[in-house]
Chain A
């Protein structure tokens, strides 16, 4: 924001591109949930053929014409992909790769050839490769914003059906929903958003606009509606950042900047999101492992308490924990320290390095023993029912996980 006043045109373009970013995030969420994340990539690479053909056929360079042609070729690319899957032995992943490679090759051939074939007024077509918002006019931006609004409204209307198909296509089909039609509509919407994102992000990277925001939003929520809105907002912010930075540094194409902004949001989401984020997962895993080790230590104490004079040394307990597959010397020491903190074990008065279970500790260990035995009986008696019970009413994880170490 070095310029004191933002030019009107820049402002309108920013609004238009932001609207596209929002709608792309919303549509992309459904696509990612349906596990069709890379379908957009095939459509995106095929758009270049349309851009070039649109120019060759009409001789015009206005955005509406080129984007309409791009949409036709994107749909044709997707159609070719469907045909390959349907009528050849080629597998799905190779079919996508073939459409990406060959259609982009054809696009490059046309775009590179056009100047040599005597079309003087062809400058600017290569801006569709990596995206360039500097050349957009206010009218272009209005067009993009309208397309984005229509796409968002279509999603709002069909959200229930699309969600159903995304989460349980078999159930949707059995309930009488036309799954194939809904799928085709979804893919068509993705093609529309890819085409709308083309001027700002470019054919090579526009797939990121429909993949990264949804994947980032997924970390924060388990609700479809929230995810869609969040993905939309992330796409919007990324688009705005991209437009702003590229306006300040004219040498840089907009597309990569939009993608990097979205990727930064993704990275932050991956790390710090509550519940699903990496840090939260690490903490949970750590808590679980600690509970497990504590359980093993408690078992060892109880065993020692029942033998000999009922005392034990920390080294015995630590060895019992460390001997476990998941344990380790450090885990043993920490587990014993935790038992000391909770006053489950206490030093024997006068003894140099002898410890015993306190009354509270013994009660805790016996309760754990009892629960483990009960679970062992249930599992032995009916493993399937036990598994079901486990998923319905999960007891303290330490208690269950410790079973393998403490039992037998």
Chain B
């Protein structure tokens, strides 16, 4: 904040912008924290439904004299969220639609009701129909209460209290949350209060939603609930790391989104959702292990290894049958590249009578052919497949068998020396 104020990045009113950005960050962090549990428990769409459905609760609370960020509004929103869940479940139990169709009925109806209440509200009520859809961060910093002599925006205080409360609740019940999230049935069987945990999560979702309502509105809150958590899920494998990463992504997304919105003079809430989406996109591409890049790289590497090994084995088989089918007969680009590589790394050597395997190349090739024929032998003995069905699976598996596996296969095929086609199985190196 100091940097922004000094550097004049936002021109005048730097403190106003800083407060707006801090508010966005703190409500975004609350949503990400709750969203982590929603995402791992496959309740993302419930988050969406609650985001919409709190509207009538907030609207009624405001009409009843509550003010934005005040306790009455929080109570109204939580009531509306509970009504949503109760109605959705009640409809299904009463013979109504499946859960997602039921949720579709309930949250659209409640949202429509909320919009009509807001539209029909007498003028001067502190709620604006367009804010319902995308919130408005601009004016939040002007509604302040003094804290230790400093004017602090009411929305920031509400957001900070919500975040602290949610964080404390999460830390206090973390083990329980993890157990319920990953094996609800086992948690129930162990006598844990699963229903209470789920109920608490719904209330927490409603609290995070209503804390964000003034900043981002009722529709975009789903982006703040789900997107950082889904991105964090791609990046990590542990739930507490996921929660921390989600909160960090949410805070960065809120700040960057706010600045970008200011730069392009557009809606901050919309831009925050867009930035969170970009973060997710980057995570999906760059995630270690199974991100887009890692997958592509892994597949290419595998394809390349398979091509090289297939070529080596082909030369070995050609030598076995007395013919010569060296790199000169390889046509496809991949085969020729593999040939170049094998020549360059010394697995193939050119002799007076054509291409031959070097000692190292021969050893590698024998291990591949050995894997192949052991697998055929094993299949022939244990899977009762006809002879002409043995080759294709062995052609796949030969690239994935290690020495230990080959040893086991040899033991389980009775240490025979020939494969089912009668060809010799090369010995282990």
Q: Is the CB of B226 within 8 A of A98?
A: yes
Q: A37-B101, A215-B105 are in contact. Are A105 and B270 (CB under 8 A)?
A: yes
Interface of B is mostly: helix
Q: Is the CB of B97 within 8 A of A96?
A: no
From A130, A215, A263, B102 is in contact (CB under 8 Å) with A215
Q: Is the CB of B219 within 8 A of A204?
A: yes
Q: Is the CB of B109 within 8 A of A130?
A: no
Q: How many A-B residue pairs have CB under 8 A?
A: 213
- Distance from A83 Cβ to chain B, minimum over Cβ atoms (Å): 9
Which residues of B lie under 8 Å from residue A266 when comparing CB positions? 105, 109
Residues of A276-332 contacting chain B, CB below 8 A: 276-278, 281
Determine if A401 is an interface residue (Cβ-Cβ < 8 Å).
Answer: no
From A41, A96, A270, B94 is in contact (CB under 8 Å) with A270
Which residues of B lie under 8 Å from residue A110 when comparing CB positions? 266, 270
Q: Is the CB of B112 within 8 A of A98?
A: no
Which residues of B lie under 8 Å from residue A91 when comparing CB positions? 39, 42, 44
Determine if B69 is an interface residue (Cβ-Cβ < 8 Å).
Answer: no
Q: Is the CB of B219 within 8 A of A104?
A: yes
From A45, A207, A219, B108 is in contact (CB under 8 Å) with A207
- Distance from A224 Cβ to chain B, minimum over Cβ atoms (Å): 16
Determine if B213 is an interface residue (Cβ-Cβ < 8 Å).
Answer: no
- In angstroms, Cα B330 to Cα A215, docked, is 62
- Distance from B212 Cβ to chain A, minimum over Cβ atoms (Å): 12
Determine if A212 is an interface residue (Cβ-Cβ < 8 Å).
Answer: yes
Which residues of B lie under 8 Å from residue A101 when comparing CB positions? 48, 220, 222-227, 273, 276-277
- In angstroms, Cα B103 to Cα A219, docked, is 16
Which residues of A lie under 8 Å from residue B226 when comparing CB positions? 94, 97-98, 101
* A278 (CB) vs chain B CBs: closest residue: B94
Determine if B422 is an interface residue (Cβ-Cβ < 8 Å).
Answer: no
- Distance from B122 Cβ to chain A, minimum over Cβ atoms (Å): 12
* B284 (CB) vs chain A CBs: closest residue: A88
Of A91, A98, A104, A113, chain B has the most CB atoms within 10 Å of the CB of A98
Residues of B256-288 contacting chain A, CB below 8 A: 261, 264-267, 269-274, 276-277, 280, 284
* A126 (CB) vs chain B CBs: closest residue: B130
Determine if B120 is an interface residue (Cβ-Cβ < 8 Å).
Answer: yes
Of B39, B103, B222, chain A has the most CB atoms within 10 Å of the CB of B222
Chain B: interface residue count, which band? 35 or more
* A276 (CB) vs chain B CBs: closest residue: B95
Which residues of B lie under 8 Å from residue A97 when comparing CB positions? 44-45, 47-48, 222, 225-227, 230
Determine if A390 is an interface residue (Cβ-Cβ < 8 Å).
Answer: no
Determine if A251 is an interface residue (Cβ-Cβ < 8 Å).
Answer: yes
Q: Is the CB of B101 within 8 A of A105?
A: no
Determine if B91 is an interface residue (Cβ-Cβ < 8 Å).
Answer: yes
Q: Is the CB of A263 within 8 A of B109?
A: yes
Determine if B233 is an interface residue (Cβ-Cβ < 8 Å).
Answer: yes
- Distance from A204 Cβ to chain B, minimum over Cβ atoms (Å): 6
Residues of B281-314 contacting chain A, CB below 8 A: 284, 290, 292, 295
Q: A126-B130, A207-B108, A263-B112 are in contact. Are A108 and B276 (CB under 8 A)?
A: no
Determine if B113 is an interface residue (Cβ-Cβ < 8 Å).
Answer: yes
Q: Is the CB of B277 within 8 A of A98?
A: yes
Determine if B119 is an interface residue (Cβ-Cβ < 8 Å).
Answer: yes
Please, could you name 18 A-B residue pairs with CB atoms under 8 Å apart, sorted by A?
A37-B101, A88-B284, A90-B230, A98-B230, A98-B277, A102-B276, A105-B270, A109-B267, A109-B271, A112-B134, A116-B264, A208-B112, A212-B108, A251-B120, A255-B112, A256-B112, A257-B112, A281-B95
Task: List the 7 shortest-distance A-B pairs measured between CB atoms, nearest first.
Answer: A105-B273, A101-B223, A113-B266, A102-B277, A108-B270, A109-B270, A112-B267
Extra contacts, 15 of them, besides A38-B45, A215-B97 (Cβ < 8 A), are A88-B284, A94-B229, A98-B230, A108-B273, A116-B266, A130-B129, A204-B111, A208-B112, A211-B105, A215-B96, A215-B102, A252-B116, A253-B115, A259-B111, A276-B95
